[in-house]
Amino acid sequence: MSSDGGLLAPVWAGTRAEEITSDAAWLRAMLEAEAALARAQARLELIPSEAAAAIDRTAAALVLDPADLARRGRQSANPVVPLVSDLRRAVPGAASYAHLGATSQDILDSAAMLVATRAVRAIVGDLSAIMRDLCELAERHKATVMAARTLGQQAVPTTFGLKAAGWLAGLLRARAHLRELHLPAQLGGAAGTLAAIAERAGAAFGGAADPATALLLVEVFAEEIGLAAPAVPWHAERSAVTELGAALAGTARALGKPATDIVLMAQTEVGELAESSTGGSSAMPQKRNPALSVLVRSAALQVPAYVQVLGQVGEHERAAGAWQAEWLPLREALRLTAGAAETAAELVAGLRVFPDRMRANAELTGGRLVAERLYAHLGPQALKRALAAEDSRLDFPDELLDPGAYLGAASELVDRILATYREQP
């Protein structure tokens, strides 16, 4: 039996994301959904409490082979059908009550949101750790002068504190978007009408179909599984998935920004930052590659591509292909983002900063880094003549050429970002 251990995705290999998003985790979440449904139905007296207890116990203990389910699921285009068959076989006395009134999409969508909730919780925790470290870096290096670079070239002076605060600002927004997610349970029955559940409710109490109890069951099911209660079934309305995807893509991009900058600032000829990782090479023993940054950046480049597949327009009340197309990209977006967050936490915690090198690079062009300032003092013609000279250093007073004297509102901007961070719980 093959298993995906992250050979081609080392950014999440060995992290919590590997366990949270594994085949086994998805399978366990599907069984949790079946158990939660039975418990909810028992609470509303739609099925016997003894049957719900048997389903709950069995689902918690049932061991199934994900690869076997996947192969058997080819006949129904989803793994829930063979899972339900195995669950019913394992509870012969309560088989008729297992999966009662639900459809495969109810179980798989609920399981997906359960897995996503756990992954998002881990991501938010790692983001919080990263932001604490970035806050400290920004504060400590509030006055550490370095060259700002635009289009790959030195532009004007800035501070490393402001750069770190900028990374922090992006992560603040990403965490806020993740926290705003209210991932819903799914329960709509065969075609999103809850008809079978309403009919069952009526039969249970000796009357006609009972839509009110069917609607109440959705709320109780959501409570049992620990997800938000949807206003209506969302089999064919995939906003919950697209909103989750957008939040993951935004988070991956926010993590990718410091990783990308660190790769460039750790270049041999720049030498302003270094990772704690050994970053070995198979061929060049002298190299210390920014391995953690590379891993995070690789995830940041992949997640937006996976997210593009989520929430595609489907047909009628259940999509033929568009729904199935979501499963793998959603799992990859979750595991890549979670893996990147954990890796970035390690990266930032161990980041080494070299202020002297930053200052030396800022003075590398002999005062030309403050050309924008000189323009204001000298006018365009005098500045043009000065820049055309072959002298390595511009012939102006040192106080005019000092990059530390031309930082604008850099310090105030750091304070503003840190204040925003500290105001958030």
Choose among 14, 253, 218: nearest CA to 106.
218
CA distance 335 to 23: 12
Looking only at Cα atoms, what is the longest distance across the chain?
A: 98
Q: Examine the residue annotation and report whether 72 is marked as an active-site residue of this protein.
A: no
CA distance 266 to 358: 11
DSSP 268-298: TTT-SEE-SS----SS-TT----HHHHHHHH
Cβ atoms of residues 188 and 110 within 8 Å: no
Which position has the token pair 């593009």? 308
Catalytic-labelled residue, pool 239, 281, 385, 416: 281
- Tell me 184's DSSP state: B
Could you give the C-alpha distances from 48 to 54, 94, 97, 100, in angstroms and in order?
10, 9, 9, 12
- Tell me 405's DSSP state: G
Q: Is 286 exposed, middle or buried (0-12, 13-18, 19+ CB in 10 A)?
A: exposed
β-partners of residue 159 are: 145
CA distance 105 to 94: 22
Could you give the C-alpha distances from 85 to 25, 51, 75, 147, 208, in angstroms and in order?
19, 16, 13, 64, 30
Could you give the C-alpha distances from 140 to 82, 126, 228, 254, 354, in angstroms and in order?
57, 21, 41, 22, 12
Other residues' Cβ atoms within 10 Å of the Cβ of residue 338:
30
- Tell me 314's DSSP state: -
The four Cα atoms 284, 287, 290, 294 give a dihedral, to 10 degrees, of: -20
Q: Examine the residue annotation and report whether 318 is marked as an active-site residue of this protein.
A: yes
Cβ atoms of residues 108 and 78 within 8 Å: yes
Cβ atoms of residues 364 and 270 within 8 Å: no
Alpha-carbon Rg for the chain in angstroms: 28
CA distance 14 to 329: 20
Catalytic-labelled residue, pool 318, 357, 368, 411: 318
As annotated, the active-site residues are: 281, 318
